[in-house]
Structure 1
Amino acid sequence: MRVDDLLNFYRADRRAHLLNACWENDGSKAELKGIVGSAPALLAASMLSPGGEMADDAILRDAPSHLFVLDDKESAAYFLNDLQQLIGDTHNVLFFPRSARVPYQEEVTENANIAMRAEVLNEINRHGKGLAIVTFGEAIAEQVISKRELSEQTFALALGERYTMDFLDEIFIEYGFSKVDFVYEPGQYAVRGGIVDVFSYSFDHPYRIEFFGDEVDSIRKFDPISQLSVNKMTRAVVVPNIGDQSLHESVEPLFNFIPAETRIWMADAKRTERQLEKAMERAESAFERVSDAVKFTPPAALFIAPERLESLLEPFHVVEFDGGTTFPNRVVIDWDMIPQPSFNKNFDLITSNLQANHRQGYHNVIVAGQATQIERLHDIFADREAEVPHHPIPIELSQGFVDKQLKLLVYTDHQLFERYHRFRLKEGFKKSKQALTLKELSALQPGDYVVHIDHGIGQFGGLQKIDVNGKEQEAIRLSYRGGDVLYVNIHSLHRISKYSSKEGTAPKISKLGTGTWAATKAKTKSRVKELAFDLLKLYAKRKSSKGFSFSPDNYMLHELEASFMFEETPDQRAAIHAVKKDMERTTPMDRLVCGDVGFGKTEVAIRAAFKAAADGKQVAVLVPTTILSMQHHRSFTRRLRDFPVTVDYINR
């Protein structure tokens, strides 16, 4: 079964057709009674893509937008992930967060959130239709820039247009952008000769605009980490900081910004109203604490008054799906669902439940984001020699449910195995490791030692503008022995690293053009080769000796792995797989698992120890301190308490 097959259940469902019929009346209101788990997201996904996999893209783009208002950020994030899993790339699914953790405190305003808010508003302003926007009460409590002002303050450049650098400087400064040496987050721009980099507030990647004279010759989006192009563009759209009140005169509720035909889904409008009250109270409290010397706009002008919510919703199609009964003249649609049962990791109970449901004519669907979880479940059923009819679908949903009317059950693997399921939000530029590198570069002081991979150890001399073929460019100045100077283009940052050694030990500075650095590198390579040769001989000798070959994983190990409450990281999965394969070989294991504190090394050890114990071996876990021995004893005991092994510890 595919995801589209799952959506087809609701595309053809009578209750979904009732909701569609309800939406044919202006300003209609509806209540989805008894719909639970991830079913609202599944229903919404079926309506967002009514034509299924064969749907015409043009039709999808012209369909009304949908706004989903959840109670809080966490529930909104889970709902967002459900939608993304169900409709994939067929729809533009966006998240609309709040701009700041604390009102009136610029230092805790999150640029990533402002960028996401700007992206949503920009998409609404440009298209208006075919969008799925997920948000929550505190986010919509903040009013937004008006459509008119956003249009007026959005600056677009296109290929072939002509601009002077002075004009662009003026525009970007007016928009509140900071001029920097290199951009790594929204709200920054840099000018180097005929190249302008600008990081708009509505996109994940900055633009690189190249000029031929005053004419725009090339526009590309680029990765600030690698400085490599992401894709070519014919147009660059620069959106300012929509959260900066000094840049615009008027604000309005988000409901005034979205098109009138937008369908609004709310968990519970009354609960949202209470969230608006809390947001207003927090804003008023923060406003009272700010200095009188700084003039701030009062909360009443920046936040939606809670009592306005119902009137703002009046013109829209609104459906409540999580217990909401706000609107007296609503259409009530009964869904008759129950949440996924709890099995307490009892796989015999899970097996019998699925078999019984199948006999009653139910479609058993199990969703799992990782193929390994589907394989584990299959192995557990196989170990019990039980035929369990079910349809695995490789997606993640936040909560399972049983739909009695459709005779459809959707179980999630993380609920079956009682694993922790975390939501994921787009972080955009926050993931940029280059930002740290650039900040480190900015933190370097003249005279600090650095290493150039080709020229050796030199001293940092700061950033300097130099003339290259008649064009002014910014470069890093490195000083070497004998007064030699090397200028390195900032696009070659990856070739420079900060020198590190024992504290207080000054290195010998290299001299350019002597070949000394090349000789040093060659000598080092030679020593590395000698070491490698010695290691090869050692490993060849070890390879020829015999060790104990452990059995392949059995059902108990599958259950232990499935009971891990967290989702393994890719590195953790790779380490576990490698360790188990080593154990199953006939040669002695020689492996070191490295990782920082809290990265999951203990879980790797627990699974390896249990694999050995399952083959009748005793396992000793050696740790360096008394406290660690107690901690590991607790960890092993907790993880293995449901399995036939004895865990104890010896201490001094």
Structure 2
Amino acid sequence: MNAHMSRSQGNVQEELRRRLWADPALRALREGIARREPVLTVSGVHASGAKAFLLAVLRGFLDASGEKARPVVFVSPEEDLQALGEEVRLFLSLLGEEDPAAVALIPAFDVSPFEGLSPHPAILQQRAHALTMLARGEATIVLVDAKALLGRLPPVADLRRSDWRLAPGEELAPETLVSALLAAGYVREDPVREPGQFSWRGGLLDVYSPSEPAPVRIEFFGDEIASLRAFDPDSQRSTAPLDRTRITPLREFTLSREELSQWSERLAREWADPAFAHDRKRVQIAAHTGDPPPGWEFLTPLTRPLTSTLFDLLPSSLFLIDDAARLPADLDQFWQTMRERYTAARENGRIVLSPEHYFLTPEELTARLTERQRLELHPLGRSLLFAEAQERLPPEIEVRAVSQRGVRASASDWPKLLTPPPGALTFLVARSKPLAEHFLKLLAERDVPVDLFPSTSVSTIPPRGDAPRWPLIILTGHLRSGFSLPALNFSIFSQHDLLREELEPTPPSPSRERPAAPFLSDFKDLKPGDYLVHVDHGIGQFEGLVQLTMPDGTPHDFLLLRYADDARLYVPVERMDLVQKYVAADGGSPRLDRLGGTTWLRTKARAVRAMRDLAEELLKLYAERKLIPGHAFSPDTPWQAEFEAGFEYELTPDQARALEEIKRDMERPVPMDRLLCGDVGFGKTEVAMRAAFKAVMDGKQVAVLAPTTVLVEQHYRTFTRRFAPFPITIAQLSRFCSRAEIARTLRGLEEGTVDIVIGTHRLLGRDVRFRDLGLVIIDEEQRFGVRHKEQLKHLRRRVDVLTLTATPIPRTLYMALTGLRDLSVIQTPPPDRLAVQTLIVPFSPAIIRSAIERELERGGQVFFVHNDIETIHEIAHLIRQLVPRARIGVAHGRLSERELERTVRRFVHQELDVLVTTTIIENGIDIPQANTIVINRADRFGLADLYQLRGRVGRSNRLAYAYLLIPPESTLSAVAHRRLAALKEFSDLGSGFRLAALDLELRGAGNLLGPEQSGHINALGFELYCQLLERTIRELRGEAIEEEIIPQINLRLPIRIPESYIADMSQRLHVYKRLAAARTDAKLAELREELTDRYGPLPPEVERLLLLGAIRNAALPLRVRAIEREGTRLLIRFADPDRLRPEQRSAFLAAHPSAEFAPDGTLRYDPPASDERTLLLQLRDDLLRLQDAAYNSAGQSQRDGSAEMSKGGRRR
């Protein structure tokens, strides 16, 4: 069957190529290209997919005629290059071209050189990668934004030198590579987690190049590369050896500190006019600090003129000009806009060079294009274009749409649409392999002859007779919409032609999972001045990591904490388990405790008494839920599979895991109470809709609660669109509904004719009665009032509840983390989501104008957040003056219901360009076309608020911007400074968890736990409070809790990690914290492996630390208080000596004749050790021997994995 199948498949590809070569229009085109006719014209190609197909066909023609090295350059004024690139790769693969990856994309910059802003990092990276490919002759197809064609570039020789190919055995000084990385825009960061970062630790250099799928660890031996290893950015562990790697630049410009100084000197000479003083000072400060100012990329011509253009990199290319008739006018308009912006920038005192420094003039561009062979595309048919000149018609390629209507109504229409007629070649493109396989199964069940490309186990129908019947071939890839070419009897469908989704499609890309790691105890960002809580001594201020010399002359590392009355406490690094970061409920600074006083002990005792009351209440609620029987939902139905297949994206790993957890909860006979936490737009709603569908399939009703009417309407649109093919009734209930609609919905809920209802707190009204409610989905519960939260609390006892949130409120977070509530986390961004570029800038009309105009120029929309109703219309008036062409609407909570609804709807339907609004949009308006948000007085917002507001943009694959407008920085409070710095720091995707913890620290938990509990959190710190509460809950559950005794170990040995091994203090602290928490030998072995991998071979000091950790672990089950050294003797002091049985004491004494057990529980003996390492290994083994003898059952878990501990350690 496989041989049969592959023959058929090969024939399809060969047949398509045969038709392409035989087609008269394409033959005329091929011959014209071969003759090097200066200008060729083609009409009729208007669909994006057809343009991509033509590019792949032209590539094939050039390759077949021996011109493989000749690139095809596609120039377009408005095509989405990213999507077009994916489509070109799809068709290259279909036509059997050798390297679909050799497609280079060159977008234009998203900012002009005259705004004092840097381009988006994603654009800089994409351009740098493409230009490097061109400079090295690696690109076969080049997709260029027409405006980028005007741009001037650094010298070609610089571009050729800008990337590095590395392999083991090559000679390269690590210092040389570090200098090159800094010049290419890489940032020094340890650990390396994101593209564009590197770190250098002795003989190891970690670097994450955007061109590579994972970061790479380069191990040097002197000036030679000893090895290359890929590593996981989350665990930091090596994953695979590499035989080569490539490091590409992050931008086409490079900058050294010397150049910054040269700029500063030149500006002082040539731009001395006082009008430019502010901008001049900006550059001078940058030269002093070495930190380039925003927009520095456009100052590079001051010292290094941009001497080349794309034409220099593409000397013999075939240029394909899209919509050639309008290109000259578009470029003239662009040039005119640049001149206007240059003039305005000069008038505003900005240091800028004239447009000629950055761009070719339209005349220069025309001259360069005239020197190249070009193929001009005209979208209109030739009868319209050439009505007056019929004597010489250019070839026309007739392109038709394959589907004029959405066929979402039912899959039953697909056979008629997709079964190929005799002789026709028909293809279907699915976004992912699972979806392709699902289409294959569905269509095969409906008797459509179908096969997968390039291989499958399903047989196909071979061609027979004069009119062979070809099977429908399913490809995996990206195509925005299908098209047909009647002359070739060729049709190709996109999945979007079958599954009509309104979302803008984005091409799939591999997404990386991020584990939901604990963050409160992370010492990686600990710095002097932070507050710490010592479990025994209370709140102190961290002053640093210090080294002291002990009385016996050995060096030892300590955390230095300052307490009240300037008292100091030195905490040994091996006891960092006693220390935590202090986080308060009100965000304020705490009072330092007094060392040796009783206040701290009384504070803890008071808090524990109050905790018991809270814990009893919480346990009662959750115990009731476990006792009350709930509905156990049935396993998934076939319709569930069909509903889930209707989603046109593949679920991310996190989404799939969350869905599995939710379904498992629903199928249990107790009510579900699960919190689903995911970044804004990471796909929580899709997971919730699948849970809702499952509930309805079991005959149950579903209620979806949202905090605002606007969000209700959005959810209603999303649900109705997604559920359309199924006989499921969905209604909404909010203040936007008329009385008649409300009455109809209430009646339907009571009678059971409404399956899903979406509403505000109106759903909690007394007149709302369900026939059989089975699932409640709550979106952003923290936005509901106290009374409504109480009602929700009672609701939880009766039905399954799924709560959705992007930034969990601390109580919810804490409950989830202490096991009182089940938690699912979605931290993986959807395919091709880009981090929002966050710009913190002073309020400036010029910046507001450029931000809005830039978004409007690319057909997008803008949110302008101004959270003051009194002055919101003044801001709207200002924007009208700045951008007269913008259609502006105003939205705030004082508008009438209908007025607010009308404004928001107009914005949703793109009848408005700018929505000037209060934070009413924070609660969830989802508009993929809105990709710029301007937030006025950002310093007045809490971090979680800013985070959620910023999440309103960046919901598609388009670059998104958040402008945080602030007053002059000198007027900002310290807390506002920290909030804004944190938002910028965590601008990567999936950082809501970290931000929720930070916002807790900065703004406080308020009354979430009630005023009394907030006071105890302030007194103890959030983490210790949670630990004590968890312990209290375990005691109330009746669990036996034995106080853990951590042994004090003093063997008169140095305890420290040398700075020569780990230079960064915060990283050393992190390792000390990990070591203190590694309570099994398996964890110690894991830490040893990681340290060796990340920092190289362990020095003796670190070997010793790990062995001391193994000794501590062996002593824990024996309840050892202390291990000390007196001369050559070892002393082991037991807290409970009576637990050692007499016969086991005798066995130990027999093995060690010098040993003696004192009445106070102290064991003294002389170990037969000749050196320090042997002594430590002997001590560990003696403790393990005692452990085996005295506690055959206790402590078993401590010993799991101990066989792997330390070189030379005995295997157990």
With normalisation by structure 2, the TM-score equals 0.41
Counterpart pick for 1:42 among 34, 53, 57? 53
The yes-or-no answer on 1:268 pairing with 2:273 is no
Counterpart pick for 1:146 among 148, 155, 160? 155
Counterpart pick for 1:71 among 41, 61, 77? 77
The yes-or-no answer on 1:402 pairing with 2:473 is no
Any conservation in 1 of the 2:113–2:352 contact (CA below 8 Å)?
no
The yes-or-no answer on 1:256 pairing with 2:312 is yes
| Counterpart code for 1:145 | P
Any conservation in 1 of the 2:190–2:199 contact (CA below 8 Å)?
yes
Name the residue aligned to 2:140. Answer: 131
| Counterpart code for 1:351 | W
Name the residue aligned to 1:391. Answer: 473
Counterpart pick for 1:30 among 40, 47, 66? 40
Q: Distance in 2 between matches of 1:234 and 1:620?
A: 55
Name the residue aligned to 2:498. Answer: 416
Offset at residue 136 of structure 1 (A): 1.3
Any conservation in 1 of the 2:111–2:117 contact (CA below 8 Å)?
no
Counterpart pick for 2:634 among 532, 543, 549? 549
Name the residue aligned to 2:1118. Answer: none
Q: Relative contact order (alpha carbons < 8 A, sep ≥ 6): 1 or 2 greater?
A: 1
Q: Distance in 2 between matches of 1:169 and 1:377?
A: 50
Any conservation in 2 of the 1:68–1:265 contact (CA below 8 Å)?
yes
Q: Distance in 2 between matches of 1:101 and 1:81?
A: 25
Any conservation in 2 of the 1:162–1:215 contact (CA below 8 Å)?
yes
Secondary structure class of the residue paired with 2:379: coil
Counterpart pick for 2:123 among 113, 116, 139? 113
Offset at residue 391 of structure 1 (A): 2.8
Any conservation in 2 of the 1:197–1:209 contact (CA below 8 Å)?
yes
Structure 1 unaligned residues grouped into runs of 5+: 466-475, 488-495, 511-533
Offset at residue 65 of structure 1 (A): 2.2
Name the residue aligned to 2:677. Answer: 595
Secondary structure class of the residue paired with 1:68: strand
TM-superposition CA deviations, 1:266-288 (whole Å, max 9, x none): 32234443443343234323322
Judged with a 3 Å threshold, the aligned counterparts in structure 2 of structure 1 residues 567 and 214 are, in CA distance, closer, same or farther, namely closer
Any conservation in 2 of the 1:62–1:130 contact (CA below 8 Å)?
no
Name the residue aligned to 1:317. Answer: 373
The yes-or-no answer on 1:362 pairing with 2:417 is no
Secondary structure class of the residue paired with 2:85: helix
Q: Distance in 1 between matches of 2:189 and 2:633?
A: 61
Q: Distance in 1 between matches of 2:473 and 2:647?
A: 23
- Give matches, 1:55-70, under 5 Å: 63-70=69-76
Any conservation in 1 of the 2:103–2:139 contact (CA below 8 Å)?
no
Any conservation in 2 of the 1:402–1:408 contact (CA below 8 Å)?
yes
| Counterpart code for 1:304 | L
| Counterpart code for 2:362 | P
Judged with a 3 Å threshold, the aligned counterparts in structure 2 of structure 1 residues 546 and 611 are, in CA distance, closer, same or farther, namely closer
Secondary structure class of the residue paired with 1:397: coil
Name the residue aligned to 1:11. Answer: 17
Any conservation in 2 of the 1:176–1:187 contact (CA below 8 Å)?
yes
TM-superposition CA deviations, 1:27-51 (whole Å, max 9, x none): 5433333333413323433554679
Secondary structure class of the residue paired with 1:311: helix
Any conservation in 2 of the 1:7–1:46 contact (CA below 8 Å)?
no
Q: Distance in 1 between matches of 2:179 and 2:723?
A: 65
Structure number, greater radius of gyration = 2
Secondary structure class of the residue paired with 1:332: coil
Secondary structure class of the residue paired with 2:394: strand
Judged with a 3 Å threshold, the aligned counterparts in structure 2 of structure 1 residues 302 and 611 are, in CA distance, closer, same or farther, namely same
Secondary structure class of the residue paired with 2:676: coil
Judged with a 3 Å threshold, the aligned counterparts in structure 2 of structure 1 residues 284 and 333 are, in CA distance, closer, same or farther, namely same
Offset at residue 129 of structure 1 (A): 4.7
- Give matches, 1:127-276, under 5 Å: 128-151=137-160, 161=171, 165=175, 192-193=201-202, 212=221, 227=236, 232=242, 241-243=251-253, 244=297, 245-246=300-301, 248-260=304-316, 262-276=317-331
Name the residue aligned to 1:514. Answer: none
Judged with a 3 Å threshold, the aligned counterparts in structure 2 of structure 1 residues 10 and 281 are, in CA distance, closer, same or farther, namely farther
Any conservation in 1 of the 2:171–2:224 contact (CA below 8 Å)?
yes
Any conservation in 1 of the 2:187–2:196 contact (CA below 8 Å)?
yes
- Give matches, 1:221-620, under 5 Å: 227=236, 232=242, 241-243=251-253, 244=297, 245-246=300-301, 248-260=304-316, 262-291=317-346, 295-321=351-377, 323=379, 332-344=394-406, 345-347=408-410, 350-351=413-414, 353-354=416-417, 358-359=420-421, 361-374=423-436, 377=439, 390-419=472-501, 420-424=503-507, 445-448=527-530, 479=560, 482-484=569-571, 500=583, 502=585, 503=587, 547=632, 549=634, 552-554=637-639, 561=644, 569-573=652-656, 575-576=658-659, 590=672, 592=674, 594-596=676-678, 597-614=680-697, 617-620=699-702
Offset at residue 408 of structure 1 (A): 1.9
Offset at residue 143 of structure 1 (A): 1.6
Judged with a 3 Å threshold, the aligned counterparts in structure 2 of structure 1 residues 576 and 374 are, in CA distance, closer, same or farther, namely farther
Any conservation in 2 of the 1:91–1:132 contact (CA below 8 Å)?
no
**Would you say how many aligned residue pairs link Structure 1 and Structure 2?**
587
Offset at residue 176 of structure 1 (A): 7.9
Q: Distance in 1 between matches of 2:204 and 2:684?
A: 47
Q: Distance in 1 between matches of 2:677 and 2:376?
A: 46
TM-superposition CA deviations, 1:115-162 (whole Å, max 9, x none): 322222222222x15532222112223221221344577789996647
Q: Distance in 1 between matches of 2:28 and 2:630?
A: 72
Any conservation in 1 of the 2:192–2:199 contact (CA below 8 Å)?
yes
Q: Does 345-354 or 311-320 show the bigger shift? A: 345-354
Secondary structure class of the residue paired with 1:115: helix
The yes-or-no answer on 1:80 pairing with 2:81 is no
Q: Distance in 2 between matches of 1:20 and 1:497?
A: 72
Offset at residue 206 of structure 1 (A): 7.3
Offset at residue 75 of structure 1 (A): 2.1
Structure 2 unaligned residues grouped into runs of 5+: 94-98, 254-296, 451-470, 548-556, 562-567, 596-618, 734-745, 747-761, 766-1212
Q: Distance in 2 between matches of 1:281 and 1:600?
A: 43
| Counterpart code for 2:74 | F
Offset at residue 265 of structure 1 (A): 2.5
TM-superposition CA deviations, 1:165-222 (whole Å, max 9, x none): 5x77877777787777777778877665556667789878777666555666667777
Q: Distance in 1 between matches of 2:10 and 2:558?
A: 58
The yes-or-no answer on 1:621 pairing with 2:676 is no
TM-superposition CA deviations, 1:488-511 (whole Å, max 9, x none): xxxxxxxx996656455689999x
Q: Distance in 2 between matches of 1:463 and 1:124?
A: 50
Any conservation in 2 of the 1:547–1:586 contact (CA below 8 Å)?
yes
Q: Distance in 2 between matches of 1:644 and 1:323?
A: 42
How many percent of aligned residue pairs carry the same amino acid?
Answer: 26
| Counterpart code for 1:333 | P
Any conservation in 1 of the 2:173–2:224 contact (CA below 8 Å)?
yes
Any conservation in 2 of the 1:66–1:133 contact (CA below 8 Å)?
yes
Q: Does 153-162 or 415-424 show the bigger shift? A: 153-162
Secondary structure class of the residue paired with 1:286: helix
With normalisation by structure 1, the TM-score equals 0.69
Q: Does 298-307 or 32-41 show the bigger shift? A: 32-41
Q: Distance in 2 between matches of 1:451 and 1:92?
A: 56
Offset at residue 298 of structure 1 (A): 1.1
